Amino acid sequence: MPFYKSPQRLEGSGPGVDFSSSRPYWINAYLIPPIDANQLVSLTLLSDRPGSTTVVLAYFDENLQSIVGPPLADAIFAPDQKGLVVFTTTRRSGPYMLIVTSFNSSYTFSLSSVWSPFYQFRNLAIYSFLLLPISLVMVYYDGIMERRDEIAERALNHIRERRV
């Protein structure tokens, strides 16, 4: 299933926290499922305050657990800028990460490209392979128990018939 890929869209908003003097900014990171090389990526981000957001979209190395440059999008909003629209092409195959830093502001974003809709189930594949033999043993055991109950029922019916 992870080899099936179709156009997908990731949407979100943030940051979902209350800003204060001790917390003037908030950083959110979004993991984008693996995208093949040379695929078109579209990113749209709109902030509620001008000049209060930074955006980075870059390849994410899962082994190093860090982003690897050069980024596909790297922008610091200008004092009069509230939005960003980026159309770019991926340079390498793999997962990407979108990092949005907001300074006393909220934002909404939309990212579109082609990736597998089943990426979030990648960890469940291991459990499903373990569950398969267990379920086969349970079906086999259920059959044995059903036959045992039928034999016991016939024996009880035979005893009742003899009493009558």
Q: What is the pLDDT of residue 107?
A: 94
> What residue segments make up the domains of the chain, in order of their start?
6-117, 123-164
Q: Which of helix, strand or coil describes residue 148?
A: helix
pLDDT of amino acid 102: 92
pLDDT (0 to 100) of residue 53: 92
pLDDT in tens, 44-59: 999 998 988 999 999 9
SS3 104: coil
Tell me the pTM.
Answer: 0.72
- Phi/psi at 113 (nearest 5 deg)? -170, -165
* DSSP letter string, 106-141: -EEEEEEEEE-TTGGGTTHHHHHHHHHHHHHHHHHH
In the chain, which residues have pLDDT < 70?
Answer: 1-2, 122, 125, 164
Q: 6-117: what fold?
A: Jelly Rolls (2.60.120)
Q: Are the CB atoms for 40 and 115 separated by under 8 Å?
A: no
Report the alpha-carbon distance of residue 162 to residue 158 in Å, rounded: 6
The pair of structure tokens assigned to 133 is 């033999």
**What's the pLDDT score for residue 40?**
94
What was the pLDDT predicted at 122? 66
Q: Report the pLDDT value the prediction gives residue 6, as an integer from 0 to 100.
A: 86
According to the model, what pLDDT value does residue 16 have? 82
Nearest alpha carbon to residue 57 among 40, 41, 73, 39: 73
Q: What is the pLDDT of residue 2?
A: 61
